[in-house]
Amino acid sequence: MTATFKAYRLIFKQASGTSRGVLKQKATWFIKIEGGHRFGIGECGMFRGLSIDDRPNFESKLQWACDHIHLGLETLLDTLTEFPSIQFGLEMAFQSLESNTPFLLFPSEFTSYKQTIPINGLIWMGSEAFMKAQIQDKIDAGFSCIKMKIGAIDFETELNLLKSIRKEFSAKDLELRVDANGAFTPSEALEKLKLLSDLELHSIEQPIQQGQLEQMARLCEQTPLPIALDEELIGVFDIPKKQELLQIINPHYIILKPSLVGGFRGSKVWIETAESQNIGWWITSALESNIGLNAIAQWTYILNNKMPQGLGTGSLFTNNFDSPLLVKNGTLQYNLKQKWNIKNL
């Protein structure tokens, strides 16, 4: 059994704004395991500026994993605790190698085109006109859940955008989520959450920056709007520390990006910890290519979580790989008529 890796640069169809800046491209890495006449492929979707494994030695650690692929998955995962995206890429690649076909990792009614996964429509930050156009596009495309990134333009404009949606669609007709990516300061956050709660939003992700446990705990205790932790989970490796973090903050939800929290294994620990404390959760991609998104989607389906998931990112890139993944009527579907094409790899 041998393993190699290759870097790849995903190009956005249009610049996508977040409170951390505008994204025009995203680096990712693919690990390929070969044994006999079979191969497995996984994606190490490290996210520059966000992932805990965004370090100068990332590629050398990835090379080490390839050189020691004979150690087996469990040993590699235990050794690479501080490199969650490599852990996830390895999990994916080993699962792919063991499967009948490289991209059928978790066969289910989803992969047989009998069931779909409800997803949220993602609204990127930008000018008021740009965000309005995105909102209308998502509604026209049949989404019943929209997630809007906020915190880049002035709050009043964002609030008015949300108000304009609510004038047309009630909370029963359209679920609204917002993601602040830590854009609010602790001193202003509660007042802003009160204004947002008047619009019957489902939740807000990461209102203040991660690492401010006391302030976030106080906010979760006082908020009129359910709070979901996202970035707060990154870099918390030990199970007791995960339990402690959720006990201290006591959020309403946690959001799991497998590439950022240690893949399937790391996400399962967070899910078990959250459920033991009656905390809800859902799964989100982290701008992986269709290879990584495929693995996340198949795994998410078998978890049987009925909430809309954050898996609609596959159409963002000009140079993504052709795959059976299809976004239609506000759901992610598996179109068996569409074949995989990874010739660029």
Helix/strand/coil for 309: strand
Kindly report which listed range (96-100, 110-114, 150-154) carries the lowest average pLDDT score: 150-154
Tokens of 32: 């390929």
CATH of 117-334, one of 3.20.20.120, 2.60.40.2550, 3.40.50.2300, 3.30.499.10: 3.20.20.120
Separation of alpha carbons 254 and 183, rounded Å: 18
Residue 112 contacts residue 140 (beta carbons within 8 Å): no
> What mean pLDDT comes out for the span 98-118?
95
Q: How many CA atoms lie within 13 A of 118 on its CB side?
A: 14
Q: Which of 149, 172, 328, 339 is an active site residue?
A: 149
Q: pLDDT at residue 133 above 60?
A: yes
Mean pLDDT of 61-75: 98
pLDDT reading at 18 higher than 80: no
Domain boundaries, the chain: 2-98, 117-334
Q: How far is CA 225 from CA 26, 174, 183, 211, in A?
A: 32, 17, 16, 20
Residue 20's pLDDT band (cuts 50, 70, 90): low
CATH fold group of domain 2-98: Enolase-like; domain 1 (3.30.390)
Instruction: Give the model's pLDDT for residue 339.
Output: 92
Give the least confident one: 147-161, 233-247, 317-331. Answer: 147-161
Is 6 a known active-site residue?
no
pLDDT in tens, 256-281: 999 999 999 999 999 999 999 999 99
The pTM for the full model equals 0.95
* Catalytic site residue from 32, 138, 242, 257: 257
Per the CB < 8 A criterion, the answer to whether 253 and 275 are in contact is no
19 confidence band (pLDDT: 50, 70, 90): low
Length of the chain measured in residues: 345
Answer whether residue 172 shows pLDDT above 60. Answer: yes
What pLDDT sits at residue 340?
94
Give the pLDDT band (50/70/90) at residue 227: very high
167 is annotated as an active-site residue: no
pLDDT digits (tens, 9 = 90+) for 25-41: 999 999 999 988 899 99
For the stretch 174-224, pLDDT in tens is: 999 999 989 999 999 999 999 999 999 999 999 999 999 999 999 999 999
Grade residue 58 by pLDDT with cuts at 50, 70 and 90.
very high
Spatial distance between the Cα atoms of 281 and 309, rounded to a whole number of angstroms:
9
Percentage of the chain with pLDDT > 70?
Answer: 99
pLDDT of residue 123: 86
Q: What's the average model confidence in pLDDT over 149-162?
A: 87
